[in-house]
Amino acid sequence: MKKISVVIPMYYEEQVADECTNRVTKVLKSIKDEYDYEIIYVNDGSKDKTLEILEKQAKKDKHIKVISFSRNFGHQAAVTAGLKYVTGDAIVIMDADLQDPPELIPDMLKEWENGYEVIYGKRKKRDGESAFKLLTAKAFYSTINKLSDIDIPKNTGDFRLVDRKVVDVVNTLPEHNKFLRGLFSWVGFNQYAYEYERKERFAGETKYPLKKMLKLASDGIISFSTKPLKIVGGFGIFSVIVSILILIYSILSYVFKWNNLTAGWTSMMCTMTFLGGMILISLWMIGEYIARIYDEAKDRPQYIIKKTINL
Ligand code: UDP
Ligand code: MG
C-alpha cells in the first residue's frame, strides 16, 4: 500500500494543534483503504503547550510522530527536518494554522497518481490577510523573479504534495539555509499548479513578523541569484562616468572662468557623498553573500533535535 507523509511545522501553535490533528486525521482516514499515512509534527522550539499537546496526541495515535527542536530554528529549518524523516511515497507539506485546507489532499493525490511529481498550492484568493502582507508578498515575488535565474511561481507558499523522488533529491542538497519553495521549483520534475483559496488562520497570530519575512526574502534572493553582485558593478561604472563628467566640467570652468565660487566645493560634496553611498551599498551587498558563505563554511547543522516521539 502506498503511504502519505504529512509534514507540519509548529511554533507556538497550542491553539490550533488539536484542531489541526483532527482535521488532517479525518481526511487521511477517509482514504485509508488506499493509502497508509503518518503525520510528522516539527515543534520549532515553542515554549507554550504545543509540545505537551503533541506528546499526548502521539501517545494515543502511532500515526503521529513528533520532532522537537532545542530552540527556534525557523519555519524552513523545521520543514527541512521533517522531510528527512518521512517514510511515505507522497509527501505533503502544510502549515499548522489550517490556512492551507487539508481537505484538498485527496484531490492533490489524484494529480500525483496522474504522474505529476510536484503539486504546489497556488493561492487564488487570500482571505483575512492584511493589505500590507499582500503587498509585501507581491513585491517579494516580483523582485525574486526579476533577480533570480529560475522562476519561482507567484502566490505559492510551502503548501504542496511532492513525490518521494523529489524529496530525496532535496534532502541530498548540501546547502544549509534551504529556501524550500525555490528548491522545489529548481529541481524540475513534472510540476502542477494546484489553485486553491487560502483561508484565514484558524486561531492565534501569524508567526511571521516582518523581520522573519525579510530574512526569508533575502535568503530566497541570495540563494537563487548573484544579480545583486552584478548590480553593484553597475553602480561602480555609473559613478565612474559621473565623476569623469564632473572632472571635465571642473577643468572647463577653471579654464574659462565660468564662476567665482570657491572652486570645486559643490562638486566635491556631490561626488563624495554619492561615492560614499555607492561604496557602502556595494559593501553591504557583498557582505550579504560573504555572510552566507561564512554560514555555509562553518557547516553547522540547520537545526538541533532535542527529542523525537514515535520515530
Ligand atoms: N513556523 C515555524 N517556525 C517559525 C515560524 C513559523 O515552525 O519560526 C510555522 C508556524 O507554526 C506555521 C507555519 O510555520 O505552521 C507558517 O507560519 P504562519 O502561519 O505564522 O505564517 P503566515 O501564514 O502568516 O505566513
Ligand atoms: Mg499561516
DSSP 135-196: HHHHHHHHHHHHHSSSPPPTTEEEEEEEEHHHHHHHHH---SS--HHHHHHHT-S-EEEEEE
Q: Is the CB of 38 under 6 A from ligand 1?
A: no
In the sheet with 191-198, reading across from the earlier edge strand, the strands are 191-198, 118-126, 156-163, 90-93, 2-10, 35-43, 64-69, 305-309
Position 226 pLDDT exceeds 80: no
What confidence score (pLDDT) does residue 263 get? 65
What confidence score (pLDDT) does residue 73 get? 93
Question: In angstroms, what is the span from residue 116 Cα to ligand 2's centroid?
Answer: 26
Strands 118-126 and 35-43: unpaired
Degrees (nearest 5) of the Cα angle 31, 108, 43?
A: 80
pTM over 0.85: no
Percent of the chain with pLDDT over 90: 45
Helix (H) or strand (E) holding 48: none
Highest mean pLDDT among 21-25, 152-156, 172-176, 227-231: 21-25
Q: Is the CB of 158 under 6 A from ligand 1?
A: no
**Domain-located, residue 211:** no
Does one domain contain both 234 and 200?
A: no
Does one domain contain both 13 and 157?
A: yes
Does one domain contain both 281 and 186?
A: no
In this prediction, residue 126 has a pLDDT band, given cuts at 50, 70 and 90, of: low
Neighbours of 203 (CB within 10 A): 13
38-78 tens-digit pLDDT: 999 999 999 999 999 999 999 999 999 999 999 999 999 99
Question: Would you mind telling me the total number of residues written for the chain in this entry?
Answer: 311
Does one domain contain both 107 and 67?
A: yes
Q: Is the CB of 65 under 6 A from ligand 1?
A: no
Does one domain contain both 293 and 305?
A: no
Q: Is the CB of 97 under 6 A from ligand 1?
A: yes
Does one domain contain both 68 and 182?
A: yes
Does one domain contain both 68 and 150?
A: yes
In this prediction, residue 155 has a pLDDT band, given cuts at 50, 70 and 90, of: confident
**Residue with C-alpha cell 565660487?**
261
What confidence score (pLDDT) does residue 225 get? 79
Position 86 pLDDT exceeds 90: yes
98-122 tens-digit pLDDT: 999 999 999 999 999 999 999 999 8
228-277 tens-digit pLDDT: 777 877 777 787 787 778 778 877 877 887 776 666 666 777 777 778 77
How far the first Cα of the chain sits from its last, in Å, is 20
The domain total for the chain is 2
In this prediction, residue 127 has a pLDDT band, given cuts at 50, 70 and 90, of: low
Nearest in space to 212 (alpha carbons), one of 27, 4, 42, 73 = 73
What confidence score (pLDDT) does residue 261 get? 60
Does one domain contain both 159 and 292?
A: no
Residues 121 and 218: their CA atoms lie apart, in Å, by 22
Question: In angstroms, what is the span from residue 212 Cα to ligand 1's centroid?
Answer: 10
Question: In angstroms, what is the span from residue 98 Cα to ligand 2's centroid?
Answer: 7
**Domain-located, residue 10:** yes
Cell of 206: 501569524
Does one domain contain both 136 and 200?
A: yes
> Atom 3 in ligand 1: which residue has the minimum CA distance?
75
Residues 179 and 176: their CA atoms lie apart, in Å, by 9
Indicate the average pLDDT of the chain: 87
Does one domain contain both 53 and 162?
A: yes
Mutate to test the pocket of ligand 1, among 8, 46, 95 (most ligand atoms within 8 A of CB): 95
